[in-house]
Amino acid sequence: MAHLNSIPQMLLPVMLTLTRGNPPVKQTFTLAETFDDVILDVANIKEYSAFCGFAQTDSIPATWFYLLAQRAQIALILHRKFPLAAPGLVHLTNSLEILAQPRLDKPVTITSSVVIEGKERGSLFPTFTVDILQEGRTIAHCTSGYIAKRSGGSSEKSSQSSERASQAVPDFSAAKSAGTLTMPDAIGWEYAKVSGDYNPIHIAGVMARAFGLPGKLAHGWYSVSMFVSALERIKNSAVTKVDVQFQKPILLPATVALEYLDEGVTTLFRMTSEDKRTVHLMGKAQ
């Protein structure tokens, strides 16, 4: 069993992983860790729910569980055996499902694992799997896909990237509008205070530019959380499962458009620029 720190406690060690350089990962790499007695922060759950506009007051929003999963993923990245530097890992996909509402007065156990398919050259695609359990029962499951960009493999595709490319892009010409979302310049800092995610590319323009970005970027999971809360208000029911693909990052400040399509029990959604020319993220919810 290992202790699970908060994200702010891990921020400096994350930056220090830059000293790992760019080592080869020629063989498939796996790593797993279990974190026991993780306390559910009731005050933070309420703060996050209010910040993101969730109307349900008798349950934890499914998207909040990613805040726990993200901590477990970062803890694996900080493990001395993990070969890659944290800065430079780009979030591509996230799939999260809540299977049961937990008891708030009981701790949870988090099991986290990562697989990196070994390659002689080219980009690597770490996949993290996180299960959150309480009293022996799985209450939430999360799978996150990342890319570590590397040269020399432009003609190669991982199974993950191939799968993403082969998926048919939904036709949103008949989509319903869920309104717009205005993201002010300081929203990265405000979201960091409720999520614990103080990644400097989201809160400091000078740091974002130091990493080769044009400026501060909106947190991807902030965008998802706000969209899911909007869907819950429209449908007057809780979302228990969300799958998302991150497309183009959102440069702050920004105003984005929210669209959705109903397909039976599944709702397809996407977030675009106001003129609909740029798709920032797309996914489905249940």
In this structure, are 128 and 179 located in the same domain? no
Residue whose token pair is 């970062």? 74
Interval 160-175: pLDDT, tens: 444 444 467 899 999 9
Residue 158: inside a domain: no
In this structure, are 85 and 182 located in the same domain? no
In this structure, are 133 and 212 located in the same domain? no
In this structure, are 12 and 148 located in the same domain? yes
For 65, the 3-state DSSP assignment is: helix
Residue whose token pair is 């701790």? 107
Kind of pairing between the strands at 241-246 and 279-285? antiparallel
In this structure, are 177 and 272 located in the same domain? yes
CA geometry: angle at 91 spanning 124 and 285, to 5°?
Answer: 125
Q: Does the pLDDT of residue 157 top 70, yes or no?
A: no
In this structure, are 258 and 285 located in the same domain? yes
Domain that holds residue 237: 168-286
Q: Does the pLDDT of residue 14 top 90, yes or no?
A: yes
What local confidence, expressed as pLDDT, does residue 88 receive?
87
Sequence length of the chain is: 286
Query: What's the predicted TM-score (pTM) here?
Result: 0.93
Q: Which residues of 187-200 are buried (b: 16+ CB within 10 A; e: fewer)?
A: bbeebbebbbbbbb
In this structure, are 225 and 268 located in the same domain? yes
Q: Supply the CATH number for residue 94's domain.
A: 3.10.129.10
Phi, psi of 17 (to 5 degrees): -65, -10
Interval 66-117: pLDDT, tens: 999 999 999 999 999 999 999 989 999 999 999 999 999 999 999 999 999 9
In this structure, are 10 and 138 located in the same domain? yes
In this structure, are 94 and 39 located in the same domain? yes
Residue whose token pair is 């620029």? 273
In this structure, are 120 and 201 located in the same domain? no
Average pLDDT over residues 253-274: 97
At 196, is the pLDDT very low, low, confident or very high (cuts 50, 70, 90)?
very high
In this structure, are 97 and 35 located in the same domain? yes
Count up the domains in the chain and report the number: 2
In this structure, are 91 and 212 located in the same domain? no
Average pLDDT over residues 26-54: 96
